[in-house]
Amino acid sequence: MLKKLWLKIQKWQQLPPTQRGIVIIALPVCCLLSTVGVLIWLSASIADYEGWVRHTQRVQLEGRELLNHLIDAETGVRGYHLTQQVGFLEPYYTAAAQLPSTLENLEALISDNPHQLAHFQDLKSAVKETFQLLAQQLEEGLNLSLAEAEQRLYFYQQLEQAKQAMDRSRAAINAFMSEEDRLLVDRQQQLEALRQTNTVVLLLAVVVGLGSSGLAIHWFRQLYQEVDLRGQRLEVACDRLARFTANASHQLRAPIAAILSHAQVGLLLARQAPEQSLPRLEKVATLAKSMGQLVNDLLFLARYEGVSPPDFATSFDLVPLIEEVVQEWQETSTASHHFHLEVPSVPLMIKGDREMLKQVILNLLTNADRYTPKGGTITLQLNQQGTSAVINVSDTGMGISEAALPHIFDYFYRDERVRQQGISGSGLGLAIVRQIVHLHRGTVTVHSQENQGSTFTVKLPLAP
C-alpha cells in the first residue's frame, strides 16, 4: 500500500512542470466549482421542498375552510330549526355560496396526488350530500306546517340524518386532513434533512477547499524548489564551463605563445645575435614536446568522455604492474623524497588495460612528487578490501585547500596556490586518473589537509 503510494508520488514528480502546474491550478478551481454546483443544486432542492411545504399548508387551510363551511351551514340550519329565526340562516347561505369555489380550489391544489384525490372524491360526495340534506331540510322546513309533536319528531329525525351526514363529512375531511398532516410532517422532515445535508456539504467544501489549497501550495512549493534546484545546477554547470574555458585557454595558449615568441625573437635576432638562436631552438623543441603531450592528454580525455566501461578481455596481477611503474618513476624522478612501497604477497587480479592503469599510478606518483617538498615522504600502499583492490598514494606535501578540493579532478584545473608557487603542470593529470578509474568501474577519492599532505585512494574491482 505504502509502496504503491510512493510509486504514485514518484510518478507525479516525474511529470513535466507544465502538467503539474496545470494540476496545481486546476485542483482548487475544481473544488470551488463542484462546491458551487452542489450548493446551487441543494438550494434549488430546498426551495422546491419549501414550495411543497407551503403547498401542503394551503391545502390544510382550504380543508379547514371547508370544515368551517360545514359547521357554519349545519349550525345555521340547526339554529333556524330551533328558533325559526331566518337570521340564523345567514352563515348557511354564505357557506353554501363559497362551497363550490373552496372545493374547486382544493381539487386544483391536490390534483398532483392521486391518493388524496380519491380521498377528496369521498369528501366531496359526503360534503355535497350533507349540504343537499341541509338544503332539503331547509326547503322542507320552510314549507312545513305540522303539529308540534310531529314536528319535533320530524326534526329529530332530520337532525339525526344531518348529524350522520355531518359525521361522515367530518370523518372524510379528517381522513383527508390527517393525510395532509402526514404529508406536511414528511415534507418538513425532508426539508430539514436537506438543510442538514447543505450544512454538511458546506463544511465539507470548506475542509476540501482548504485541504486542496494546502496541497496546491505544497505542490507549488515543491515545484518551485525543483525549478530552483535546476537553476542552481545550471549555474554550477555554467560556472564549471566558464572555469574550464578560462583555464583551458590559458593552459593551451601559454605554450603556443611561448613557442611563437621564442621562434620570432630568434628570427629577429638571427643576424645580430646568432648565439641566441641555439637556446631558443632548444626551448621551442621542449615547449613543442610538452604541447604534444598536452594534446595527447586532451585527445585521450575526449576519446573516453562519457564512454561506459568496456568489458576488458585481459586480466593481470596488479602487484608486479605497480612494482614496474614505481621502478620507472624512481629512475626518472629527480626529487629527493623518502619512498615507501607496501604490496601484498598474494596476487590481485584485475580485468583491465595495463597501460591505462600504469598511467593512473604514474600520474598519482608524479603529483605526490611535484607537490611534496624535499625530504618529504611518499607512500604507495596496495591491499585487498573485500572484492576490491585498493591503491593508496599518500604524501606529506602542501596538501589541497578546502576551496580547491571539489575541483581538482576538473580539466585544466590548477589551484591558485600551485600557480603562485610556480609549480608546473597541465592540470589534466587527475582528470585522466578519474577517467581511467571510471573506465575500470572503480572509484577515486582524496583526503587532504593543507600543509599536511594528501592521500589519493583508488578502488578497483577484482576480477571474478
Partner 1 sequence: MRILFVEDDPEQLEPLSTALTHVGHLVDGVQEGETAQWLMQEKTYDLLILDWMLPKVNGLELCSQYRQQGKSTPILLLTAKDTTADKVMGLDAGADDYLIKPVDVMELLARVRALGRRSPQWLGDQLHLQDLVLDLPSMTLRRGDQAIVLSTREYQFLEFFLRHPGQVISREQLELNLWEWDNQPESNAVSTQIRRLRLRLEELGCADWLETIYGMGYRLQANS
289 near partner 1, rule: CB under 8 A: no
What span, in angstroms and rounded, lies between the C-alpha atoms of 92 and 94? 5
For the bound state, the minimum distance from the C-beta of residue 411 to partner 1, rounded and expressed in Å, comes to 15
Candidate segments 265-273, 303-311, 340-348, 363-371, binder of partner 1 by CB under 8 A: 265-273
Binding mask 86-105 for partner 1 (x = CB under 8 A): --------------------
State the cell numbers at 180.
Answer: 395532509
- Residue 429: other Cβ atoms inside 10 A: 20
Give rounded-to-5 percent helix, strand, coil for the chain: 75, 10, 20
Nearest distance, CB of residue 262 and partner 1, angstroms: 5
- Least Å distance, CB 375 to partner 1, is 25
Please identify, using beta-carbon distances, which residue of 45 and 290 lies nearer to partner 1: 290
Measure the CA–CA gap between 85 and 76, rounded to whole angstroms: 10
Nearer to partner 1 by C-beta: 132 or 245? Answer: 245
Instruction: Indicate the helix (H) or strand (E) that contains 390.
Output: strand 388-395
Q: Which C-beta is closer to partner 1: that of 250 or that of 289? A: 250
The yes or no reply on residue 254 touching partner 1 (CB under 8 A) is yes
CA atoms of 121 and 278, how far apart (whole Å): 138
Size of the site for partner 1 (CB under 8 A): 29
- 123 within 8 A of 176, measured Cβ to Cβ: yes
Residue number with CB closer to partner 1 (8 or 253): 253
In the complex, minimum distance from the CB of residue 255 to partner 1, in angstroms, rounded to a whole number: 8
Strands 377-385 and 338-342: parallel
Question: With respect to partner 1, which residue has the nearer C-beta, 25 or 256?
Answer: 256
| 139 three-state secondary structure | helix
Q: Which is nearer to partner 1, 153 or 260 (CB)?
A: 260
Interaction between residue 262 and partner 1 (CB under 8 A): yes
Select the span of 199-207, 231-239, 248-256, 442-450 touching partner 1 (CB under 8 A): 248-256
Asked if residues 460 and 350 have their Cβ atoms less than 8 Å apart, the reply is: yes
* 241 lies in the binding site for partner 1 (CB under 8 A): no
- Cβ atoms of 187 and 53 within 8 Å: the answer is yes
C-alpha cell at 384: 585487498
| Closest to 312 (Cα-Cα) out of 437, 433, 440, 434 | 440
Q: Candidates 68, 261, 366, 392: give the one binding partner 1 (CB under 8 A).
A: 261
CB of 353 to partner 1, least distance (A): 34
Number of H helices, E strands in the chain: 10, 7
Instruction: Mark the segment that binds partner 1 (CB under 8 A) among 156-164, 245-253, 334-342, 447-455.
Output: 245-253
Give the nearer residue to partner 1 in terms of CB position, either 190 or 276: 276
User: Closest Cα partner for 458 from 439, 425, 433?
Assistant: 433
Nearer to partner 1, 30 or 260 (CB): 260
What torsion do the CA atoms of 260, 265, 266, 269 make, to the nearest 10 degrees? Answer: 160
Establish if 150 lies at the interface with partner 1 (CB under 8 A). Answer: no
Q: Which of 132, 189, 199, 249 binds partner 1 (CB under 8 A)?
A: 249
Distances (CA, A) of 254 to 249, 259, 260, 426: 8, 9, 10, 11
Which residue lies nearer to partner 1 by CB, 254 or 301? 254
Site residues for partner 1, window 387-416 (CB under 8 A)?
Answer: 416
Figure out which of the listed residues 200, 246, 285, 295 binds partner 1, where binding follows CB under 8 A. Answer: 246
Whether residue 114 contacts residue 81, with contact meaning beta carbons closer than 8 Å, is answered with no
Of positions 96, 259, 382, 431, contacts partner 1 by CB under 8 A: 259
- Shortest Å, Cβ 300 to partner 1: 22
450 phi and psi, to 5 degrees? -60, 135
Nearer to partner 1, 18 or 272 (CB): 272
Across 330-462, where does the E strand assignment appear? 338-342, 349-351, 377-385, 388-395, 443-449, 453-461
What string marks each residue from 16 to 35 as x (binds partner 1 by CB under 8 A) or -? --------------------
Coil/strand/helix, residue 63? helix
User: What is the C-alpha separation between 212 and 215, in angstroms, rounded?
Assistant: 5
Which of these ranges, 140-148, 254-262, 353-361, 428-436, lies near partner 1 under the rule CB under 8 A?
254-262
**Binding-site ranges for partner 1 (CB under 8 A):** 245-246, 249-250, 252-262, 264-266, 268-269, 272, 276, 280, 283, 287, 416, 419-420, 422
